[in-house]
Structure 1
Amino acid sequence: MASNKKSSPKVKMPLDENLRRLSAFLMQNKRPEQTLCLAQLQGFLFAVSGAPYEIEAEDWLPVIFNEQEPAFQSDDEADAVLEVVMALYNYLDQQIEERKVALPANCLPADAWEDNFAKSSPFRLWCSGFLIGHGWLEECWEGLEEALDEEIGSAMMVMSFYAERELAVDFHADYAEPDESFEVMAEAMLAEFDEAMVRYADIGAMLRSDNEQE
């Protein structure tokens, strides 16, 4: 089985061919219901890598398959799938350590904001996976000082705004400026997305470092 050992500083993004195979595996009907797709997995792993504590692979791997058996056909298939998943995790971990976080090339948002709410939008799916990961790790973020808690809350809203349109409507109702239309807020969320990713990762890395020294 795959190890959760920290990767070397020169770990690379998995090859496109391996990502396509992983995507096909995750999408097969034999997978458990609500298994994460590739874009969701990438968002989920960003939340895991950016958490204030290091999360063991044995804890987060089951979440990918909705806490059910993945139905691997063989040990070789299991090893191949988990190797790519761990490579993705290690690559994201390295990005956070080097302060070079960015959306994967396959998950970039569309120029037209409304297109990013489409069910098949890779960007929406990344945001959905991130929201799943942050929600699963919610207890890790408890007890922050007020300023950091507000920053994480703000970053989380930006990165989950496009996860579901209904959620975005709720965010607009609760947090929009007076007379700020939904369209204006939606465009602002896109404009702030990259900065929100960086801030979320930076705060998580800072807290993880502090926790490891305790």
Structure 2
Amino acid sequence: MQVSLTQFMTDNDLENQLLSEMQTKGFVTAMAAAPYMIDPSEWLAFMWGGEEESPFSSHEQLEQYANIIVNLWNEQRGALLSAEWQWPEGCALSDTDIVTADTRLYCEGLLQGWTLARDDWEILMPEDSQESALLGGVLLSISLLFDPEAALPTLEAQGAAELAQFEEIFKGMPVMLCGLTQRAAQLVEEA
């Protein structure tokens, strides 16, 4: 039986030594959306802050964690390529804070993951390409959802109704992220 990420972290008392569950899910989603597969051995250490020494007490514990992460990557990659990706449970809009804390953490993880694949994205979708607008739109949307308070003055200056704008961005993210992943996969295949 596969242990969930949350259960693994709780059972092994690793909640304060690894990225949170939502940050991890966002990070892994960014890795799953990347145009070229980056071997998890190259980015797994980011899950514990990039430190050389992992927080695990045994090789078996590290292996179990790595298997959970790889399974999550496989799930996310499949969902993105089949246009079935959806926000994880807990990610939502909020009447008081625009977005929930889980949404912010998920977006934070997504942005952290994007930085690792940034060169691949920029080579595949250079600034002067048609695809660059798609990539830029997705990144801007993720950034807005990560820090909506910082975005409010800009949106208000453009005359956008603040919460309605965030609702549109939030609801549109599955289509945008799946579309970006699918287009990147197509471009890689054509290359």
Do Structure 1 and Structure 2 share a fold, with TM-score over 0.5?
Answer: yes
Q: Classify the secondary structure of the residue corresponding to 1:102.
A: coil
Moved over 6 A (4+): none
Change (3 A) 1:191 1:96: closer
Per-residue deviation, residues 123-162 of structure 1 (Å, max 9, x unmatched): 2211111111112321111142521001111122223322
Q: Where in structure 2 are the equivalents of 1:55-204 lying within 5 Å?
A: 55-68=38-51, 69-104=53-88, 106-110=89-93, 112=94, 114-118=96-100, 121-143=101-123, 144=125, 145-169=128-152, 173=154, 178-204=158-184
RMSD of aligned alpha carbons: 2.6
> Among 174, 178, 186, which residue is 1:206 paired with?
186
Return 5+ residue gaps in structure 1 as ranges: 1-13
What letter matches 1:146 in structure 2?
Answer: S
Stretch of structure 1 that moved more, 158-167 or 194-203: 158-167
* TM-score, structure 1 normalization: 0.74
Shift in Å, 1:26: 7.8
Question: What secondary structure is seen at the aligned counterpart in 2 of 1:146?
Answer: coil
92-101 or 52-61, which deviates more: 92-101
Distance 2:50 2:168 in 1: 35
* Cα drift, residue 23 of structure 1: 4.0
Distance between the aligned counterparts of 1:64 and 1:176, measured in 2?
36
Percent identical across equivalent pairs? 19
Query: How many correspondences in the alignment?
Result: 186
Q: Is the contact made by 2:8 and 2:65 (CA closer than 8 Å) also made in structure 1? A: yes
Contact 1:26–1:37 (Cα < 8 Å) also in 2: no
- d(CA) in 1 for partners of 2:143, 2:13: 22
User: Kindly tell me: are residues 157 and 23 of structure 1, through their superposed partners in 2, closer, same or farther at Cα, counting changes over 3 Å?
Assistant: farther
